[in-house]
Structure 1
Amino acid sequence: MSEQQFADALGVSRGAVQQWEKQGGTAPKRANQARVAKLLGISVAELVSGVSAGARGVDVRAEVPLVSEVEAGNYTVIDNFKPTTQFDTIPVSVPVKKHTYALRVHGDSMVSEAGDSFPAGSILIVEPEMEAVPGDYVIALNEASETTFKQLVKDGGDLYLKPLNSRYPIKPLGDAQVIGVVREFTKRFR
């Protein structure tokens, strides 16, 4: 397929396709990634990671940087389309966007005896570009620029940050800002 045929099939310019193919060029915009992957006959994870399923011999999994709580508050420093060796990386099975990152759970506020539970050491895959809805597990940034991991709940029109551990209080979202939605979680033992 020529560059022009490829561009026409996607409804983009030939110049956009040339940028995608160029060494050090730009990646397809998020809005185009699913269509590009489908046209190429690959998954979005393969497209984003640049590694095919056959090359790895397993299901394709992209990787995202594992950041600290401080870096999570400034997630825009992460660019998954221009990766650096600055961070350790974590394999993921969810679609990866430009600022998707991993974060390690600290403390026991999200440990529950029933249902979902996120013990200390768990790894969360966080998507900051996703709109949070009540029921989502979220990363929030308070007015003191501290991050917290809680469940977003709604009661009587107001939003709250709810820990799963009943020993901790539910707090109003107030001036805190949701900076990411948890998409995946894993626990590493070694």
Structure 2
Amino acid sequence: MSSHHLIREGRKRLGMSEQQFAAALGVSRGAVQQWEKLGGTAPKRANQARVAELLGISVAELVSGVSAGGRGLDVRAEVPLVSSVEAGNYTVIDNFKPRQQFETVPVSVPIKRHTYALRVHGDSMVSEVGDSFPEGSILIVEPEMAAEPGDYVIALNQSNETTFKQLVKDGGDLYLKPLNSRYPIKPLDGARVIGVVREFTKRFR
């Protein structure tokens, strides 16, 4: 795989347009088009570290055009790990601008502008069978995805508090369902779904 192909495929996996990719790196769209074109120019040395970081690969992988161990194919990017308060105002997150002052989490799903990570608190989504999300789990949340019944979602209630539940439908009505049977199922009512969980992992330290 050439560096041109590695950059083009990496940008597409990030779900970014040429212009968004260029803006994230502080270069022109024309520069990105040159990098991705067979026979075009490669990133200058001053830009290589930023390009590699955005793609989730090393500079050596970028220059050689070879992704060591497939890491560049598996880890798509990193997204900010936010608080529940920031999750309620997720538009403060912009993954296509220079990195903000957040702890970041690697993800293996395509990201969009406002994709973020959120830590699970409490045991309402802990189950003895099937899916289970213990306290401390890290959720990758996509606010630009339309939620469907069965999805795990982040919702914002009328008090502007975030909650993590499963969206279910019964008799035409939508409900927020905890996986822990000790907690009640509640109608969606005035709550608003603000993100769909795409991925989760457990961090111990």
* TM-score range for the pair, normalised by the shorter chain length: 0.7 to 0.9
- Structure 1 portions without partners, runs of 5+: 1-15, 28-35
Q: Could you give the per-residue CA deviations for residues 69-118 of structure 1, whole angstroms, max 9, x where no partner exists?
A: 00000000000011334100000000010000000000000000100000
The TM-score, its normalising length taken from structure 1, stands at 0.75
* Equivalent residue for 2:159, pick from 115, 121, 144: 144
The one-letter amino acid of 2:154's match is I
Counterpart contact for 1:123–1:185, Cα < 8 Å: yes
Deviates more, 1:113-122 or 1:18-27: 18-27
Residue 104 in 1 paired to residue 154 in 2? no
The 1-side partners of 2:121 and 2:20 are apart by 41
Which residue in 2 is equivalent to 1:92? 107
The alpha carbon displacement at 1:175 in A equals 0.8
CA RMSD in angstroms comes to 2.8
Q: What is the percentage of aligned positions where both structures have the same residue?
A: 71
The 1-side partners of 2:134 and 2:18 are apart by 44
- Alpha-carbon distance change, 102 to 26 in structure 1, aligned in 2, over 3 angstroms: farther
Count of aligned pairs: 161
Q: Which has the higher helix share?
A: 2
The TM-score, its normalising length taken from structure 2, stands at 0.70
The alpha carbon displacement at 1:51 in A equals 3.9
Which residue in 2 is equivalent to 1:83? 98
* Equivalent residue for 2:171, pick from 156, 162, 182: 156
* Equivalent residue for 1:50, pick from 55, 64, 71: 55
Secondary structure of the 2:140 match is strand
Secondary structure of the 1:76 match is helix
Deviates more, 1:53-62 or 1:105-114: 53-62
- Alpha-carbon distance change, 26 to 187 in structure 1, aligned in 2, over 3 angstroms: farther
The 2-side partners of 1:97 and 1:48 are apart by 17
